[in-house]
Amino acid sequence: MKKPCGIVAILTDFGCNDYYVAAMKGVILDVCRDVEIVDITHSIENFNLYQAAFTLYASHRYFPEGTVFLAVVDPGVGSSRMAILIVSKRYYFIGPDNGILTPAAKYDGIEKVYMIENDVYFRKPVSKSFHGRDIFAPVAARIACGLEPFRVGRELDVNKLHNINIELFMEKSDDCVVLKVIYIDRFGNVMLSHNFRNVIETLNVDVGDDVYVYAGGDRILKAKILEVFSHGAPNDLILYENSLQLAELAVNLGSAKSLLSVNNDDSIRICKYGY
Amino acid sequence: MKKPCGIVAILTDFGCNDYYVAAMKGVILDVCRDVEIVDITHSIENFNLYQAAFTLYASHRYFPEGTVFLAVVDPGVGSSRMAILIVSKRYYFIGPDNGILTPAAKYDGIEKVYMIENDVYFRKPVSKSFHGRDIFAPVAARIACGLEPFRVGRELDVNKLHNINIELFMEKSDDCVVLKVIYIDRFGNVMLSHNFRNVIETLNVDVGDDVYVYAGGDRILKAKILEVFSHGAPNDLILYENSLQLAELAVNLGSAKSLLSVNNDDSIRICKYGY
Amino acid sequence: MKKPCGIVAILTDFGCNDYYVAAMKGVILDVCRDVEIVDITHSIENFNLYQAAFTLYASHRYFPEGTVFLAVVDPGVGSSRMAILIVSKRYYFIGPDNGILTPAAKYDGIEKVYMIENDVYFRKPVSKSFHGRDIFAPVAARIACGLEPFRVGRELDVNKLHNINIELFMEKSDDCVVLKVIYIDRFGNVMLSHNFRNVIETLNVDVGDDVYVYAGGDRILKAKILEVFSHGAPNDLILYENSLQLAELAVNLGSAKSLLSVNNDDSIRICKYGY
C-alpha cells in the first residue's frame, strides 16, 4: 500500500509572471512545512485542457510513488464543476473535474475518486475565482503530509469523472496511414497519435527506409525512418520512435512544425510510396 | 515571537535565461545548506518597481510565518541607495531601499528596519553591479538560518523608508466611479483600485445588474456584475470580486485587456447607467 | 576530499512548457528522494552549446562544494557522442561530451573524467532520444546520493574531452582595442571578452574618462567609464566592470544591445580617441 512521499508536483496555466503560483506555494508550505514542491509547468496555454491533460499524462509516471499531483487549469472555477481527489495505484491527483487529471490517473490505474467538499481543510475565506489557492493547494498539502483521502469528502463513481481523450488513433488506407498531431514541443518535433512500432509495421517499412508525408496542400515530403533524429543529415525530415514510444516527425537541427506547417490535432498522412 | 522558518522566497527582474538567479541560489545554499528556496517570480519587467512591489504585496501573505523575502529589482545598484532588512510582524524582507519591500511589509506590520552594512556577512569581493549575489542573497540565507536581525547593521527610522503607493483609489461623480488599473494578469484580467464591495455599494448596484464601462475613446461597454467570470457567457465582459477582494474586469474565456485596450495606471469609469 | 552535498543543479534547452524537465525531476527524486533540485535555466536556445557552456561556466562557482551539475543540451543524443562524468576539485559535472561541461570543469580544476557506460544505473528502457531522462538524470541522482564516481564506467583521458572556448580575447591596435561580444543578458547589457581592468589599462584610461565605441557601420558612440551603470544619466552608454570582472557595455535604464545593434560573437572596437 502506497504512502504519500511528501512531494506536491504542480501544473497550471498561471504563467510565471503573476502572483498566483507563489500564493499557492505559500499556502502549501504554510499548511505543511515539510512538503517538497516540484513545478511540472505553469505555461499551459490559457484554458487549454487538452495540453494540461497531455502534459500530466506524459510526466506523472516518472515521479516517486506517493507523489501528489496538483493540476489547476480551471476555466470553470466558481461554477458547478466539482473539485476532486483521485487516488490511483501509485499516486494522488487533485484538481477540477474537467478531465485534466483523468488520462494520467487512468494510465496509473484509478482506485478511488473523492469529491473535495469538506471545507475544514480549505483556506478561508474561499474566493470564487482562485480555488487553486483556497481549495486545491491546502488539500494537496494535507494529503502529501498524511491526511487520509476519504476525509476530503464523499466517494464519486469513477464512471462520472470527466475525461479528455488522449487516445491512440491510426487509420489505414491502401499503403498509407492517417495519424493526428497530438503534441508539438519546443523544438518543433511533431508527436503523432500511434506507437512508432505499429506505424512502421502497418506500413510494412523499417528503419532505413523512406516514407512520404502529406500534411495538407499538395506538398509531399520525403522522410527517412531512423532510430533517432541525430542520425539524419541537418535539415532532413526524420520519422522515429520518441521517448514515449510514439511515432514522431523531427528535422535534425531544425523544426518539423515549421517545415510541415502543422498544428495540434491536424491530420498527417504517411505513405509507403510517393506518387 | 516569530522565528525564521528556513524559507527564502525570491522575486527579481533577472528573468530565467541568464546566470543571475542561479548565482543567487548557489550563494544562498553555500551560506546555509538548509534553506528552502521558493521562486515568487523572476519575470518582473526590467526596473519596474511598481510591479515588483505589487507582486510581493499580493503574494507574501500566504507564506508561513518566518519566511524571508528576498526582492531584487534594483536599477540603483551601486549608487547611494541603501540595502535594508525590514522585520515585520510575521516576516523578514531584504532588498534595496527603493520602495519595493514597503507595501508588503506595511501590510504585515513593520516592527524594525535595519541598514545592511556589516560586510562580514557579504560575499567577497562585493561587485558594484550585482548586490543580489554579493549582499542580499548571503544576508537572506543567514537570517533564514537564525542570524539575529540587529547584527546586519544600525536601525533605520521607519519613516525614512522609501515607499511605493499601492493605494485604494476611487473617485465618485454622479452615478459613476473612476478607478485605476492596478494590475493586468496573464489572462488579461484587469484588476481595479478598490474593493469590489465598496465599488458596487457606491454605485448602488448588485450582483446580477449591468454596469457601463468607459475605458477611453467613445466606446461604452456593458459589463455584467457576477460572482465570478465563469458565470458569464463566453466573451461576456464581467465585473466581479477577485481573489484579493478587489474589483476586477474579465472576459469569460477571453481577455478584458484586449477588449478594453487598457494598460496599468489607466483610468476606467464605471457607471450605473449608459447614455 | 569533497563529498556530494545532495544538490543536483540542472541546465537544459528543454524550455519550461513541455514534459521533459518534469520527467527528469521525477526520475531524480524516484532514484533518490533526498536530492535537492535547483534549476539553473531551461531556456538555453535550442542546441546552443556555447550559451550552455557559458551559463554553466558563469554560475557553477557559487554553488556549495559537492554540487552535481546536470547539463543537457544534446543535439547529438543517440549518436556516437559519449556520456560523461567529470569530477573536478569541488564539483561533479554530468552530461554529453560535446563541450558544454568543459569550461566550468576546467575553471574549477578537472580531477578525473569517466565515461558513463554502466547501464545498471540507467532507467530502462533507454530511449534513443531522451538520455536526459534515461541516463543523465538517474546517474546524477546516484552521484548526488553517494555513488562512487568510478562505478559509472571507465576513465577517459582528460585530453580527449570536447571543449568549447570561452577565452579571453583582446586585440590591440594603436589607441584602440578590439573585443568580442561574449554574452548579452536580459537587460541588453553587452558582456565583452576581456577583464575590465586589462581593457582600461591597455587603453590607458580610467574611471571618469570617455572612450569611443565602434560596433559596425559608421557610427561612433561615446561611452563613459564608470564604476557601475547606475552612476550614469539615463540613456548614457557606460563601460564598467561587470559581476564576472569582465568589461561590459550598458545603458542606464536602457539596452546597450539595442543602441549598438550587436549580437553574440560580434566584434566591438573601443578607442581612447574619437575621430
B136-154: per-residue pLDDT in tens?
999 999 999 999 999 999 9
- Min CA distance, B186 vs chain A (Å)? 7
Are residues A16 and A70 located together in one domain of the fold?
Answer: yes
Chain-centre distance of CA A242, in angstroms? Answer: 15
Taking an 8 Å cut-off on Cβ atoms, the answer to whether C26 and A64 are in contact is yes
Q: Among A19, A76, A128, select the one facing B55 at the smallest CB separation.
A: A19
Q: Is the pLDDT of residue A32 over 90?
A: yes
Q: Would you place residue B217 in the very low, low, confident or very high pLDDT band (cuts 50, 70, 90)? A: confident
Query: Residue A253, CB half-sphere, CA atoms under 13 Å: how many?
Result: 11
pLDDT at position A14 is 96
What's the average model confidence in pLDDT over A254-262?
94
Q: Among B9, B185, B227, select the one facing A18 at the smallest CB separation.
A: B185
Placement of cell 563529498 in the chain = C3
* Cβ-contact C108, C88 below 8 angstroms: yes
How many whole angstroms separate alpha carbon B200 and alpha carbon B190?
Answer: 17
* Cβ-contact A271, A175 below 8 angstroms: yes
- Interface residues of chain A, partner chain C, Cβ below 8 Å: 5, 7, 9, 16, 36, 38-44, 55, 58-64, 67, 185-187, 227-231, 240-243, 252-253
- Tell me which of A109, A129, A160 is where a domain ends: A160
Are residues A20 and A111 located together in one domain of the fold?
Answer: yes
- Min CA distance, A97 vs chain B (Å)? 15
How many whole angstroms separate alpha carbon C152 and alpha carbon C143?
Answer: 9
- Interface residues of chain B, partner chain C, Cβ below 8 Å: 13-27, 29-30, 33, 37, 46-47, 75-79, 127-130, 133-134
pLDDT at position A1 is 66
Taking an 8 Å cut-off on Cβ atoms, the answer to whether C127 and A242 are in contact is yes
* Cβ-contact C169, C199 below 8 angstroms: no
Q: Would you place residue B1 in the very low, low, confident or very high pLDDT band (cuts 50, 70, 90)? A: low
Distance in angstroms between the alpha carbons of the first and the last residue of chain B: 57
Q: Among C16, C20, C47, select the one facing A43 at the smallest CB separation.
A: C16
How many whole angstroms separate alpha carbon C63 and alpha carbon C36?
Answer: 13
Residue C2 lies inside a defined structural domain of this protein: no
How many whole angstroms separate alpha carbon A28 and alpha carbon B81?
Answer: 35
Residues from chain B contacting residue A22 (CB–CB below 8 Å): 9, 38-41, 55, 59, 62
Are residues A68 and A185 located together in one domain of the fold?
Answer: no
Residue B126 lies inside a defined structural domain of this protein: yes
Taking an 8 Å cut-off on Cβ atoms, the answer to whether C59 and B128 are in contact is no
Are residues B145 and B223 located together in one domain of the fold?
Answer: no
In this predicted model, what pLDDT tens digit does every residue of C180-201 receive, in sequence order?
999 999 999 999 999 999 999 9
Are residues A154 and A23 located together in one domain of the fold?
Answer: yes
What's the average model confidence in pLDDT over A193-221?
94
Are residues B181 and B102 located together in one domain of the fold?
Answer: no
Q: Would you place residue C1 in the very low, low, confident or very high pLDDT band (cuts 50, 70, 90)? A: low
pLDDT at position C130 is 96
Residue B76 lies inside a defined structural domain of this protein: yes
Determine how β-strand B68-72 pairs with β-strand B92-96: parallel
Taking an 8 Å cut-off on Cβ atoms, the answer to whether C129 and A229 are in contact is yes
Residues from chain C contacting residue B78 (CB–CB below 8 Å): 227-231
Residue B236 lies inside a defined structural domain of this protein: yes
Listed residue (B121, B250, B266) closest to B187, CA to CA: B250
Residues from chain B contacting residue A20 (CB–CB below 8 Å): 185
Q: Is the pLDDT of residue C150 over 90?
A: yes
How many whole angstroms separate alpha carbon C228 and alpha carbon C238?
Answer: 8
Which cell numbers in the block locate residue A45?
Answer: 496555454
Q: Among B33, B76, B130, select the one facing C243 at the smallest CB separation.
A: B130
Residue C66 lies inside a defined structural domain of this protein: yes
pLDDT at position C240 is 96
Taking an 8 Å cut-off on Cβ atoms, the answer to whether B19 and C58 are in contact is yes
Listed residue (C226, C225, C196) closest to C210, CA to CA: C225
How many whole angstroms separate alpha carbon A265 and alpha carbon A267?
Answer: 6
Listed residue (A14, A144, A121) closest to A71, CA to CA: A14
Placement of cell 549608487 in the chain = B79
Distance in angstroms between the alpha carbons of the first and the last residue of chain C: 57
Are residues A179 and A106 located together in one domain of the fold?
Answer: no
Are residues B133 and B176 located together in one domain of the fold?
Answer: no
Residues from chain C contacting residue B130 (CB–CB below 8 Å): 242-243
Residues from chain B contacting residue A135 (CB–CB below 8 Å): none
Residue C190 lies inside a defined structural domain of this protein: yes
Neighbours of C24 (CB within 10 A): 29
In this predicted model, what pLDDT tens digit does every residue of A74-123 receive, in sequence order?
999 988 899 999 999 999 999 999 999 999 999 999 999 999 999 999 99
H or E, element range at C9: strand C7-12
CATH code assigned at C215? 2.40.30.90
Are residues A134 and A189 located together in one domain of the fold?
Answer: no
Are residues C123 and C176 located together in one domain of the fold?
Answer: no
Are residues A178 and A143 located together in one domain of the fold?
Answer: no
Please name the residue of chain B whose CA is at the shortest distance from the CA of residue C39.
Answer: B22
Q: Identify the chains in contact with A, defined as 3+ C-beta pairs within 8 A.
A: B, C
Taking an 8 Å cut-off on Cβ atoms, the answer to whether C5 and B128 are in contact is no
ipTM of the complex: 0.95
Q: Is the pLDDT of residue B215 over 80?
A: yes
Residue A99 lies inside a defined structural domain of this protein: yes
Of all residues in chain A, the percent with pLDDT exceeding 90 is 90
Residues from chain A contacting residue B42 (CB–CB below 8 Å): 16
Q: Which of A89-103, B124-138, B212-226, C12-26 has the lowest mean pLDDT?
A: B212-226
pLDDT at position A16 is 94
Are residues B134 and B56 located together in one domain of the fold?
Answer: yes
- When divided into structural domains, chain A yields a total of 2
Listed residue (A166, A167, A184, A161) closest to A95, CA to CA: A161
- Min CA distance, A195 vs chain C (Å)? 14
Q: Identify the chains in contact with C, defined as 3+ C-beta pairs within 8 A.
A: A, B
* CB contacts < 8 A (A, B): 96
Q: Among A62, A63, A241, select the one facing C128 at the smallest CB separation.
A: A241
Q: Is the pLDDT of residue A219 over 90?
A: no
Residues from chain B contacting residue A6 (CB–CB below 8 Å): none
- Tell me which of C160, C188, C219 is where a domain ends: C160
What's the average model confidence in pLDDT over B172-180?
94
Which cell numbers in the block locate residue C224?
Answer: 563613459
Residue A166 lies inside a defined structural domain of this protein: no
Taking an 8 Å cut-off on Cβ atoms, the answer to whether C187 and B16 are in contact is no
How many whole angstroms separate alpha carbon A21 and alpha carbon A41?
Answer: 11
The whole domain housing C199 covers 171-271
Per-position DSSP letters for C122-177, written without gaps between them = S-SSPPSS-HIIIIIHHHHHHHHTT--GGGGS-B--GGGS---------EEETTEE
In this predicted model, what pLDDT tens digit does every residue of C214-242 receive, in sequence order?
998 778 999 999 999 889 899 899 999 99
Mean residue pLDDT of chain B comes to 95
Of all residues in chain B, the percent with pLDDT exceeding 90 is 90
Q: Is the pLDDT of residue C155 over 70?
A: yes
Please name the residue of chain B whose CA is at the shortest distance from the CA of residue C188.
Answer: B46
Interface mutation target, options C7, C61, C186, chain B, most CBs of B under 10 Å: C186
Q: Among B44, B63, B186, select the one facing A29 at the smallest CB separation.
A: B63
Placement of cell 502497418 in the chain = A202
CATH code assigned at C133? 3.40.50.10790
How many whole angstroms separate alpha carbon A69 and alpha carbon A140?
Answer: 8
In this predicted model, what pLDDT tens digit does every residue of C82-126 receive, in sequence order?
999 999 999 999 999 999 999 999 999 999 999 999 999 999 999
